[in-house]
Structure 1
Amino acid sequence: MMHRRDFLIATAASAGSLAAAPVLAQSDALPKRPIRLIVPFAAGGGVDVFARLLAEKLKEKNGITIVVENRGGANGSIGGSAVRTAEPDGTTLLFSAATHVMARQVMKSPPYDPVTDFTPVARVGEAPMLVVMAPGLPFKTIAEVVADARKTPDKWTFATSALGAPGHLATVAFNKLAGLNLTIAPYRGTAPGLTDVAAGHVQLMIDPVLALLPMARGGNVKALAVTAAKRVALAPEIPTAAESGMPGLEYASWYGVWGPKGMPADLVARLNKACNEAAVELGASGRLAELGIEPVSGTPEAFADFIAKDVKRNTELLKSVNFEPV
Structure 2
Amino acid sequence: MDNLKTREEEVSEDQPVTSSRPSAGTGILRRQLLATSLAGLGASLVVGRAVAQARKFPDRPIKIIVPFPAGGGIDAFARLVGEKLRQTRGFATVIENRPGANGTIGGVAVRDAEPDGYTILFSASTHVMAQQVMKHAPYDPIADFSAIARVGEAPMMLVMSPKMAPRNITELVAEARKQPDQWTFATAALGSPGHLATIAFNHLSGLNLKIVTYRGTAPALNDVAGGHVQLLIDPVLALLPMANGNQVKGLAVTSAKRTALAPEYPTAAESGLPGLEQSTWYGVWGPRKLPADLVAELSATINAAVEELDKEGRLATLGIERVSENPAQLEQFSKRYVERSAELLKAAGFEPT
TM-score (norm 1): 0.91
Length, aligned pairs only: 302
| CA–CA separation in structure 1 for the residues paired with 2:81 and 2:56 | 17
| Equivalent residue in structure 2 for 1:312, among 335, 339, 352 | 339
| CA–CA separation in structure 2 for the residues paired with 1:184 and 1:119 | 32
Question: Which runs of no fewer than 5 residues in structure 2 stay unpaired?
Answer: 1-52
**Does structure 2 retain, via aligned residues, the 8 Å contact 1:30–1:62?**
no
The aligned runs of 1:260-271 (5 Å cut-off) are 260-271=287-298
**Once structures 1 and 2 are overlaid, which stretch shifts more, 169-178 or 57-66?**
57-66
**Does structure 2 retain, via aligned residues, the 8 Å contact 1:30–1:270?**
no
Displacement of 1:27 in angstroms is 11
Is 1:133 matched with 2:133? no
| CA–CA separation in structure 2 for the residues paired with 1:132 and 1:179 | 19
| CA–CA separation in structure 2 for the residues paired with 1:166 and 1:27 | 40
Displacement of 1:28 in angstroms is 9.8
**Does structure 2 retain, via aligned residues, the 8 Å contact 1:160–1:185?**
yes
Q: Which amino acid letter does the alignment assign opposite residue 245 of structure 2?
A: G
SS of equivalent to 2:271 = coil
SS of equivalent to 2:65 = strand
The aligned runs of 1:185-264 (5 Å cut-off) are 185-264=212-291
1:75-104: CA deviation from partner (whole Å, max 9, x where unpaired): 001000000000111000000000000000
- Structure-2 residue corresponding to 1:175: 202
**Does structure 2 retain, via aligned residues, the 8 Å contact 1:38–1:94?**
yes
Is 1:61 matched with 2:111? no
1:141-193: CA deviation from partner (whole Å, max 9, x where unpaired): 11111111111110000000000000000000000001111001010000000
SS of equivalent to 2:232 = strand
- Structure-1 residue corresponding to 2:139: 112
Q: 1:63 to 1:174 in 2, by over 3 A?
A: same
Aligned alpha-carbon RMSD (Å): 1.4
SS of equivalent to 2:268 = coil
Please identify the structure whose Cα radius of gyration is greater.
2
Q: Which amino acid letter does the alignment assign opposite residue 236 of structure 1?
A: P
Displacement of 1:30 in angstroms is 3.9
Displacement of 1:29 in angstroms is 7.1
- Aligned-residue sequence identity (percent) comes to 65
Is 1:124 matched with 2:160? no
| CA–CA separation in structure 2 for the residues paired with 1:27 and 1:124 | 28
- Structure-2 residue corresponding to 1:147: 174
| Equivalent residue in structure 2 for 1:103, among 130, 134, 150 | 130
Is 1:325 matched with 2:352? yes
SS of equivalent to 2:202 = helix
Q: 1:295 to 1:29 in 2, by over 3 A?
A: farther
Q: Which has the higher helix share?
A: 2
Is 1:87 matched with 2:87? no
Displacement of 1:32 in angstroms is 2.5
Show structure 1 runs of 4+ deviating over 3 A.
26-30
TM-score (norm 2): 0.84
